[in-house]
Chain A
Amino acid sequence: MARVVVDVMLKPEILDPQGKAVQGAFGRLGFEGVASVRQGKRFEIELDGEATPEAVAEIERAAATLLANPVIEDFTVHVEAGV
């Protein structure tokens, strides 16, 4: 068993209305010192077997086609140790 994590973020040049709303709430609720907030998605994927390079490549493919919208989002894939 292994866990692969895919983090998906909007590309930096793309407007992030949710992040902007969170940033506004920071100010309203008195949390200070926040310059900017961007919000993304995190997927934790449990594999049936080990995180072989083939298995990770398969997750990368899934990330590019299913988990992220590469037109407006970037993603990173990493294997989480010690699960």
Chain B
Amino acid sequence: MTIDTVELAAKTPDQPQPWDELGLKEDEYQRIRDILGRRPTNAELAMYSVMWSEHCSYKSSKVHLRQFGEKAPASDALLVGMGQNAGVVDIGHGYAVTFKIESHNHPSYVEPYQGAATGVGGIVRDILAMGARPVAVMDSLRFGPLEADDTHRVLPGVVAGVGGYGNCLGLPNIGGEVVFDPSYAANPLVNALCVGVMKHEDIHLANATGVGNKVVLFGARTGGDGIGGASILASESFDDSKPSKRPAVQVGDPFMEKVLIECCLELFEAQVVEAIQDLGAAGISCATSELASNGDGGMYVQLEKVLLRDPSLTPGEIMMSESQERMMGIVTPENLDAFLAITARWDVETAVIGEVTDTGRLIIDWHGETIVDVDPRTVAHDGPVYERPFERPAWQDELQAAGPDSLPRPSGGEELRDTLLRLLASPNLASKAWITDQYDRYVLGNTVLAQPEDAGVLRIDESTGLGVAIATDGNGRYAKLDPYTGAQLALAEAYRNVATTGARPLAVTDGLNFGSPEDPAVMWQFAEAIRGLADGCQALGTPVTGGNVSLYNQTGGTAILPTAIVGVLGVLDDVARRTPQGFRTSGQVIYLLGETRDEFGGSEWAWAEHGHLGGLPPSVDLAAERELADILVNASRDGLIDAAHDLSDGGLAIALTESVLRYGVGARVWVPDGLDPFVFLFSESQARAIVAVPRSEEVRFTDMCSARRFAHQRIGVVDDGGVLDVQGLFAVPLDQLRTAHESTLSSAFEA
């Protein structure tokens, strides 16, 4: 094997290179040549190709993502913003929380178990790299139709992968969502979120500073996993005619990761490491160029020192390998022995592969010959930026004009009851317990609320009860009808879910999943969604702290529904005051907060009952969302409510059913004067919630709502009759509701 060195590259300018196969465009290849003033070596080409891929460079999304910074609301809580491995939020008492969501969509389609598992592993390492102890995960999943064969291949694997990896690490899985839609057939979405906790002084940034400091690679050995995955998975949609383009699969080892977590935390605690960066997509290429360009600007690496699982790998492959469970550390020479003693104690293989320099160059040698000599900023930060054309598609008007008004609506008690039972059993509204029961929700003993509650709630500090709540949401149907509003609706729902538990929403992470950016219609959806989300975050005072963009989510010419998944994190001063979802105490009064309008565009009813998607999504009122959140948080703190549930997909009828089923009580409910029973039960109007108020607190509670001029209606009473009785219309025994709600998934996957 001859090694393509810098020296050789300078002498052989005309040697043909496989830039096309590596996913680079011709002008991008030319730009690399211009930057270097010569042709790149094979190793340099590998490095640029992975780092300039859509996945790593955000080249199509960057111009739009800037809005998250430009429109960021002033927030005292934000300690570390976008641009690092994950954002960090101050939650008080000296504690800081870091959280982030990341996609692993394409790998999860190719190999569902390992794809989902390594998705969890990757986001956990991001959190760990900030200096935090990972304390919980969540996952947001999208699949094709429930009855499709491919869903039966993909879903069980993904669920087992998420559960298996998380369970092995001993991290509770406290929530997320699962949605089925034909557009996700052959392109499932697997977005994993991790949350970690640290003290303020323990925050670490991934910067390589201090000339002479050692660059150390530790964790699993480097093998041929996912070589080129980063460039290929994000550059090409799946096309059966080109099997060779399918990304190689990475296999995770959660027990290795668990050791790595403990090892890294001990390294941080012993203060023997300056910075740690996780190795994810683009492996060593990414870690070296990002660490160097975020720090003093230079690094020297001897690549042959990397410990290999497969000795036949070429230098270019070593640079691109996506082998899991690896970390790169920056260590001062004085601390090196102490560092190595700790990694040895944890049985973590470690190799010193280079050192930090101030030359402004990233130089990589292979057995004494230089194979990479680049300015790391040109690799990590100054990649191509595309102002891709975007245009509102012609079909958007048609879609919005085809509203749900002409759909036949149920009337009379019997039809309304049957509609409720069918909706409860529909795949998107059915209980997801079959999935979430495969995850460990309570390991570590700090889980206060988990699925099916509105948000996951964790206790952070045992002595004060300080805790956090996190929820993820994202309705692709709403976003298809209007991407700007749809993204805000995703934000509003996650925000509302967090507030429903009594937590004060603080910060946002986003997982943006869209089709091909080369399609102007998709690019328009993307641009609108970001504009909506950035404006929404500004209005709600919750900054975006980081996240992930996944493009090219399409099969053939059909893009997925534009899916902006929004995660919101909130803080509870005392988790003992959290508000659960379920009604429990007979005699408590049920109030409906917020205004109900005739809004069925993009609704679950229109979709599940009529297969209809058209019109406009429900209107957004962020001021009302803020007010509602204030009411819910104050009511929780002052002990005015015993239960609360937000109203979203499927409307009031679904929320009531879930609250009644949770502890198996009953409820009598009446339709307020002037409201159509169907609209009352199934409309998806936003900024609404139902709450159960003890009679002793009813006056204080209604006084608070009145003082804030927030709509509140007394719509029912909790009882212990085991029946959901909508007076004058229908009454359904709980058994019947439970059977409808809980049998859909188990009968689909246990057959």
Contacts and interface: CB of A to CB of B under 8 A. Distances in A.
B225 A14 contact: yes
Given A15-B223, A69-B111, A71-B249, 9 more contacts: A13-B224, A14-B249, A14-B251, A15-B252, A15-B309, A16-B251, A20-B253, A72-B111, A72-B251
For chain B, the bracket of interface size reads 20 to 34
Interface in B600-641: none
Given A71-B111, A72-B111, A72-B114, A17 B256 contact: yes
Most B CB atoms within 10 A — which of A20, A21, A24?
Answer: A20
Contact of A13 (B110, B225, B324): B225
Interface of A: 10, 12-17, 20-21, 24, 69, 71-72
Nearest to B251: A15
Contacts of B248: 13
Interface string B298-331: 0000000000011000000000000110000000
Contacts of B347: 24
B404 to A, nearest CB: 42
A16 B255 CA distance: 12
A10 B250 CA distance: 12
Nearest to A71: B111
Nearest to B220: A15
Given A71-B110, A72-B114, A72-B249, A15 B255 contact: no
A68 B152 CA distance: 17
A12 B225 CA distance: 10
B310 A17 contact: no
A13 to B, nearest CB: 4
Contacts of B253: 15, 17, 20
8 contacts: A14-B251, A15-B220, A15-B251, A15-B252, A15-B253, A15-B324, A16-B251, A72-B111
B310 A13 contact: yes
Nearest to A14: B251
A15 B323 contact: yes
The list of the 4 closest CB pairs from A to B, nearest first, reads: A13-B224, A17-B253, A15-B251, A71-B111
A20 B111 CA distance: 21
Interface in B92-141: 110-111, 114
B114 A12 contact: no
Residue of B225, B251, B252, B323 contacting most chain A CB atoms (<10 Å): B251
A62 to B, nearest CB: 16
Contacts of A24: 347
B728 to A, nearest CB: 56
A36 B630 CA distance: 60
A26 to B, nearest CB: 14
B219 to A, nearest CB: 12
Interface in B389-409: none
Nearest to B255: A17
Contacts of B223: 13-15
A24 to B, nearest CB: 8
A6 B323 CA distance: 29
Contacts of B323: 15
Contacts of A15: 220, 223, 225, 250-253, 309, 323-324
A10 B249 CA distance: 12
Nearest to B224: A13
A20 B309 CA distance: 11
A72 B310 CA distance: 16
Interface string B466-510: 000000000000000000000000000000000000000000000
Contacts of A13: 223-225, 248, 310
Contacts of A10: 251
A69 B153 CA distance: 12
Contacts of A71: 110-111, 249
A71 B223 CA distance: 17
Nearest to A15: B251
A16 B250 CA distance: 11
Contacts of A14: 223, 225, 249, 251
B125 to A, nearest CB: 16
